[in-house]
A and B are shown apart, each in its own frame.
Chain A
Amino acid sequence: MTRYAGNVAAIRALVRDQEVHRDVYVSEEVFQLEMEHMFPNSWVYVGHDSQVPNPGDYFGTTIGTQPVLLVRHTDGTVKVLHNRCPHKGTRITSETCGNAGKFFRCPYHAWSFRTDGSLLAIPLKKGYENTGFEQSHAASGMAPVRHVRNYRGFVFAKINDGGLDFEEFFGESLSSFDNMIDRSPVGQLKVAGGVLRYMHNCNWKMLVENQTDTCHPMVAHESSAGTVVEVWKKAPPGTKKPMAVEIIAPFMSPYEFFENMGIRIWDNGHGHTGVHHSIHSDYSAVPGYFEKMTAAYGEDRAKAILGENRHNTVYFPNIMIKGPIQLLRHFKPIAANKTLVESWTFQLVDAPDMLLERTLMYNRLINAPTSIVGHDDLEMYERAQEGLHSNGNEWVNLQRLYSPDEAGQTNVAVNGTSEWPMRHQFRAWTKFMTMGM
């Protein structure tokens, strides 16, 4: 039964000012439409160019559910190709990342392609003479994603030709990337430390919303962060606070802390928590780091860069970054009720190793399938995914601190516990779902 395909009014009706219909989380049809429209109309994160440093290097990932390859072309530029052989559809690479050499070779019938996707050679080429092959889709090789933008190492792609250009789509929100990258004395990041992969039996949007949900930590994380605080209280006075306690304990901060930290709203579903301070504000100094930053930027600028403590920046549709600790989480949709979460960490080039060590510890303690903080969240998402099947109420409430004049406002900083960012994500959701439909 199709209810939503081609039905702009029905899709719009899923999102109200203060609530959204459960079908945005549970309907397989809505999920398919997100993959057909919403993701292709958006600038979606693909990967970081340090994952493909040399010509021929590739990294396989997805835009929505479509397999793509991030490739370093022979001319040094970064391309995004649909990871599909134009012959019979075979996925070209067998491993997630590697080096193709000068060309890709399909493992099925050995058609080969340059690293920009163009067709290089076909065995027994004669068999295609006088067949009109030149006019076929296949003759143009592996289809490139046409709209690709490398922003200071972070590669985004947009599959559809319509929609917004890169600057229009991101606008001022790129300042969070800038701050994360400027934390390196040479203004450069490198993927480092390995990627944590965590399977969630819930809708991908629950994870995105949770990044600006500041009313849950002190409740859901009482089990993990609360226990840390309790256990730490028993340490003999004068004991040096371990890095792990510095990382986990702030999750138990009171409502006030989160109210005062503020949330900023940008256009198109983007925004960040932690306008004034965040759970990352009180980490102890890393020896030698500030000196390096001062030498590189001058003291005032160094202070300004490190004084930003944005907590979570959401880039619609499906990533979140933590600038102060150089971490990026990618919420990869698999099905309406299934999401792969990849947590990537970055090294600040030319900064002390201890910063990467802290980032990795954060990732391990918060985002791992073996963490404890992550368990708290996943339990809630999975309960919500089940609970939404109740017919008792078809609507999810996103009303907290709603104000009727908020739609259309941008670059405002509001109370840190507002659900405005979630309402704002859903306004963007409707916009990119129905764009060109």
Chain B
Amino acid sequence: MSMLAEAPLKNATPTDQELIDFVVREARLIDQQRFDEWLDLYANDAFYWMPLEWNQTDPRLTCSLMYEDKLLLSIRVERLKGARTFSQKPKSRCHHVLQTPQVDSRDPTANSYVTWTPMHYIETRMDEQTLFAAWATHHLSVENGRLKIKLKRVDLINCDAAFGNIQLFM
């Protein structure tokens, strides 16, 4: 259970292994549909960003698939629970396969840590199963002895393709 519990960091500065465990845990919380716990991993000023364009740099004046602050993320989580959320009757399920996250940068002075994680993500609903390939970039920082997500960026390999509904979180 140790990996599942959100353990406080052992020291003020997270180790690479702690960063890796955090990223893996985040994916697991989504797969297990523990969305309230999942939301707790995000800082209050966090963003979840899924670009629409390859190598997109601007989330403001270029459209994205998702660019959501914590309010919008919490609305999504609430919506998934709704009695009249017809597109979730029956519910979607999802599954992540991650490569081992790589620590791209660590800057304790700036309280900023960045990991990079290639992954496959599968979402299913009824008889449909859809596979997505993506790279997740996590920008993390330490708040009150715990890691928090400041920005999660999910770059789909086919970000500009025409998709049907993508309902959960990658």
Contacts and interface: CB of A to CB of B under 8 A. Distances in A.
B10 interface: no
Contact of A223 (B64, B69, B79, B165): B79
Interface stretch (B25-33, B139-147, B156-164): B156-164
User: Max chain B CB contacts within 10 Å: which of A192, A196, A200, A242?
Assistant: A196
B50 interface: yes
Contact of B66 (A192, A222, A364, A374): A364
Given A194-B53, A197-B161, A375-B87, A223 B82 contact: yes
Nearest to A332: B162
Contacts of B72: 244, 365
A251 B77 CA distance: 19
B61 A353 contact: yes
A5 to B, nearest CB: 30
Contacts of A360: 60-64
Interface stretch (A135-143, A227-235, A297-305): A227-235
Contact of A194 (B63, B67, B78, B166): B63
A192 B62 CA distance: 7
Contacts of B71: 231, 242, 244-245
B110 interface: no
Contacts of A242: 69, 71
User: Max chain B CB contacts within 10 Å: which of A228, A357, A360, A374?
Assistant: A360
B127 to A, nearest CB: 12
Given A244-B71, A375-B167, A226 B84 contact: yes
Interface stretch (A12-20, A148-156, A171-179, A376-384): A376-384
Interface residues of B, number: 33
A7 B167 CA distance: 43
B165 A375 contact: yes
Contacts of A368: 63, 65-66
A223 B62 CA distance: 27
Interface residues of A, number: 41
Contacts of B50: 370
A395 interface: no
A378 B61 contact: no
A130 B69 CA distance: 70
B52 A231 contact: no
Given A223-B87, A224-B79, A357-B60, A231 B74 contact: yes
User: Max chain B CB contacts within 10 Å: which of A192, A372, A376?
Assistant: A372
A201 B72 CA distance: 27
A100 interface: no
A194 B79 contact: no
B61 A222 contact: no
Contacts of B84: 222-223, 226
A363 B65 CA distance: 9
A363 B63 contact: yes
A337 to B, nearest CB: 13
19 contacts: A194-B63, A197-B161, A198-B164, A226-B82, A227-B75, A345-B63, A360-B61, A363-B63, A364-B64, A368-B65, A369-B163, A369-B165, A369-B166, A370-B65, A370-B163, A375-B87, A375-B165, A376-B87, A380-B86
Interface of A: 192-201, 220, 222-224, 226-228, 230-231, 242, 244-245, 340, 345, 353, 356-357, 360, 363-365, 368-370, 372, 374-376, 378-380
Given A223-B85, A369-B165, 8 more contacts: A192-B61, A197-B161, A231-B71, A244-B71, A364-B67, A365-B72, A370-B163, A376-B86
